[in-house]
Amino acid sequence: MSRKLPILLFLFVTFLMKSQNLEWKTNLTDAIAISNEERKPMLILFTGAGASENLQNEVFKTADFEKWSRKNVILVKLDLSDMAIASEVREQNAMLKNAFGVVDLPEVCFANAVIRKGKTNFNTLGKLSYSSGGAKAWITDCNQILNPE
């Protein structure tokens, strides 16, 4: 019994650490390339300083979301308040926020995009904000956007 406890504890901690390792792209051009290569839409999170943490804590930090996102989308995080990024990128992110019609932060937009002749064209699939109900309910809403009947 004494040997099983450390092994179980190690496995549990490893599982928790792995579920927190989502790979959020912050460079939109790279995200578009990966999205097209893997034939997955982008889940673009628009966020900023002072934005509610509910979506992050109740959805994005769950094993259910990690499993779903790895299979279904390319994660893109655009922080509109990040002063460490170049001003051109901040301006681009603000223009994307307006183009997608994002009003309240945080908000998620699902989109595909192609870059042709230096111009990016987006195909917006839908938007989703935080709603109570946890990760499974949020994922159900995402699936309705990504797989309309």
Give the pLDDT band of residue 3 (cuts 50, 70, 90): low
Name the DSSP class of 87. Answer: H
**Inside any domain, residue 7:** no
Give the pLDDT band of residue 10 (cuts 50, 70, 90): low
Spatial neighbors of 54 by CB under 8 A, at least 6 apart, are 130, 132
**Inside any domain, residue 14:** no
Give the pLDDT band of residue 19 (cuts 50, 70, 90): very low
**Inside any domain, residue 96:** yes
CATH number at residue 95: 3.40.30.10
**Inside any domain, residue 5:** no
**Inside any domain, residue 11:** no
| Domain around 113 | 22-146
pLDDT tens digits along 38-68: 999 999 999 999 899 999 999 999 999 999 9
Token couple for 102: 């994002």
Please give the model's pTM, rounded to 2 decimal places: 0.84
**Number of domains the chain is built from:** 1
**Inside any domain, residue 17:** no
